[in-house]
Amino acid sequence: MKRIISILTIISVVLSSGLAYAITVDESIINVLNEGETYINGEIRTDISDIMDVGNGYLVYKEENGVKERCFTEDFINFKPVEVFDAHGNRDFYVQAEWTRAGHMDEIKWANGVYMARSNVYDNEMYPGWVLESEGYLYILDKDFQYIKRITFASYVREISYIDGIYYVRITNRGYLRAMVWGSTSEDVIEGVYSSTDLENWKEEPDLQRVPVTNGKTVLTMSNDNVYTFKDGRLDNQIIYEEVKTNYIAGNDVYSQQILNTTGEYFYIYDSSRKYGDPMAIWLSNDGIYMTKYQVDTLNLKSINGSLLDGYEESYMSKNDIDRYLQTSDIYVRLNDKILGFAQPPVMENDRTLVPMRFLFEQMGADVNWNDSTQTATATINSARGGGGERNRAGEIQNSVTFAIDNTTAAVNGKEATMDVPARLINDQTFVPLRFLSENLGYNVEWDESANTAIITTD
C-alpha cells in the first residue's frame, strides 16, 4: 500500500460550487517548497485548486495549444483525457469556455469500481438551494471515466456519497421553485435523500437531511438541522455543538443553510449564522465533534477564531497551519445519547477528565451562580436519581456543589468534600472535574475505554 500523506489543503471557495478541496497525494509526487509553492514532477505551481483527489487518482486540467482538457493521472506523468457530459449525456462542448461550468463533472466520487458524478453548476455557497433545473442527473462512469449511464431524479442532485456499500444522493428543487415558479407552495417541493445498493433501485431515507459523509474514520450526516454520527446505515448519536450553528435565524424565519462535507481528512461546516455581508467562516474538524472556526474574508483565510494571522494573505493554508490551530482531543463526553462538541475540548489531569463548566451544566439543565471575587461557583440541579440533597415540593432531589478555582476542597449539599483535582481556569474558561461534579449532582458516570468516552446518564 502506498504511503499517503496530506501535503496541502486548499480551502478554495469556488462560488459556483461552494466546495473546498483537499489534495492528498503520494509524497514521491508532490513536495511542498516555500509557502504557496508546490513541486509537481519538475514543475513549481502556486495554484493547485484544479487538482481533485478522486480516490484512485487525480483529476487535473492540462492546457495544450490554448485548449484546456480535463485528464486523469495517477503519477502526474501519464495523463488520460476524461470525457465530460452535459445534462443530456453529450460531450461537454462548454469545456473551453471560461465563463461557464455547465456540464463539468465537478463532484466525482469513487464508489466500488465506478465513479458517481454530478455537475454542480447550480450549487452556490451563499444560497445552496438556488437551483435552475427541474430535474436532476447522477452520472455513472467506469474506471476509465467512460460514460455508463445517467440516472434521472425528480429534482436537482445536490449531494452524492458512497458509504459502506450504499450509494446516496440528495435532491432538491427549492431553488428552482423560487427562481422559476413564483407563488409555489410547500406541496410543490421535491426534496429528500435516497439510497441504493445497486444503482438501480432507490429508496427514500426519511430520517436523513444530508447524505452521510466520511473522512475515512468517522461517518456523519444531518437530520432536522442537527449533526449525527452515522452507523450501520442509520442515525446514531446526535452531536450538540457549543458554538457551531446549524441554521440561520432571521426574524421569525429559520433557514437551513448548513453544509456538512469533508475535505481530505477534515470535516467542514459553513457558518450559516452570520449576517448578510459578514465574512464567511468555515468550521474544520478531524473528528466532526471538536470544531475550529477559520474566518474567510474576500475569499482568503485570514483569521482563526477571530484572531488575524500575521502577514497571511494567501487564499489557502498549509496543512501544518490548519493542524496548528485545530482544536483536538481524544477524550469525548456523551450525555445520554448526545455527544458534546465543546468549543474547547476536555483535558486530562492526573487521570481525571476536566471539561468546560458552562456548556456541560447548560446541557444538564443546572443553575450556576458564579462569584467573581472569590472565583467560586455553585451548581444546583433538580434530579430524580438521588444524591444527598433535600427533596423539593415536586418530589425531586435538589443537589448542589460549590467549588473554587485551583482548590480541591468543595461543598456537596453543604458538606465538605475533597476533589481529586480542582477546577481550573483554561483559556478564560472554567474547567471542572467531570466525574466528581456529575456524580455529586445525582448522575451516573461510566467510562468507555474502547471509545475513550465518558458517558453521563441523567435519566
124 or 106, which is more confident?
106
- In angstroms and rounded to an integer, the radius of gyration of the C-alpha atoms of the chain is 25
pLDDT at 390: 57
* pLDDT band with cut points at 50, 70 and 90 for residue 218: very high
**pLDDT for position 263:** 74
446 Cβ contact list (under 8 Å, min separation 6): 454, 455, 457
Q: What is the pLDDT of residues 372-412, one digit of tens each?
A: 888 899 999 876 554 555 555 555 668 899 999 999 999 99
Q: How confident is the model at residue 258 (pLDDT cuts 50, 70, 90)?
A: low
Same-domain status, 250 and 312: yes
Identify whether residues 200 and 226 lie together within a single domain. no
In contact, 48 and 8? CB cutoff 8 Å: yes
Q: What is the pLDDT of residue 18?
A: 32
Q: Are residues 27 and 3 in the same domain?
A: yes
Give the model confidence (pLDDT) of 81-115 as tens digits: 876 554 444 444 333 333 334 445 667 888 988 98
Looking at the structure, tell me whether residues 193 and 156 fall in a common domain: yes
Tell me what the pLDDT averaged over the chain comes to.
75
Residue finishing a domain among 328, 362, 380: 328
Alpha helices (H) in 256-379, listed in sequence order:
319-325, 357-364
Chain center to CA of 209 = 14
Residue 399 to residues 115, 334, 358, 405: CA-CA distances in angstroms? 57, 21, 17, 20
The Cα 204–Cα 148 span in angstroms is 24
**Are 370 and 434 in the same domain?**
yes
427: left (phi over 0), alpha (psi -120 to 50) or beta: left
Q: What is the DSSP string of 410-437?
A: EEETTEEEE-SS-BEEETTEEEEEHHHH
Q: Which of 161-165, 295-299, 327-331, 340-344 has the lowest mean pLDDT?
A: 295-299
Confirm if 271 and 278 have CB atoms less than 8 A apart. no
* Residue partners of 43: CB distance under 8 A and separation at least 6: none
Cα gap 295→21, rounded to integer Å: 17
Distance between CA atoms of 196 and 207, rounded to whole angstroms?
A: 15
Q: Are 166 and 109 in a shared domain?
A: yes
Domains of the chain: total: 4
On whether both 350 and 428 belong to a single domain, the answer is yes
Q: What is the pLDDT of residue 62?
A: 79
Q: What pLDDT, on a 0 to 100 scale, did the predictor assign at position 302?
A: 42
Which of the pair, 408 or 322, is modelled with greater confidence? 408
> What percent of the chain stands above pLDDT 70?
64
> Do 320 and 336 share a domain, yes or no?
no
Query: Residue 360: in which H helix or E strand, if any?
Result: helix 357-364
Domain end residue (candidates: 44, 76, 108): 76
Q: Report which residue type is found at 124.
A: N
Q: Of 76, 100, 120, which residue is a domain's last?
A: 76
Q: Calculate the alpha carbon distances from 169 to 117, 155, 196, 222 in Å.
A: 11, 11, 9, 13
Question: What strand order describes the sheet that includes 107-111?
Answer: 107-111, 114-118, 136-141, 147-153
| Same-domain status, 64 and 118 | no
Residue 339 in grid coordinates = 455527544
Q: Over 90: is that where the pLDDT of 291 sits? A: yes
Residue 39 is predicted with a pLDDT of: 55
Asked whether the beta carbons of 132 and 155 are under 8 A apart, the reply is: no
What predicted TM-score, i.e. pTM, was given to this entire model? 0.77
Which residue's entry shows cell 483529476?
A: 59
β-pair partners for 413? none
**Which structural domain range is residue 39 located in?**
1-76
Q: How far apart are CA 364 and CA 358, in angstroms?
A: 10
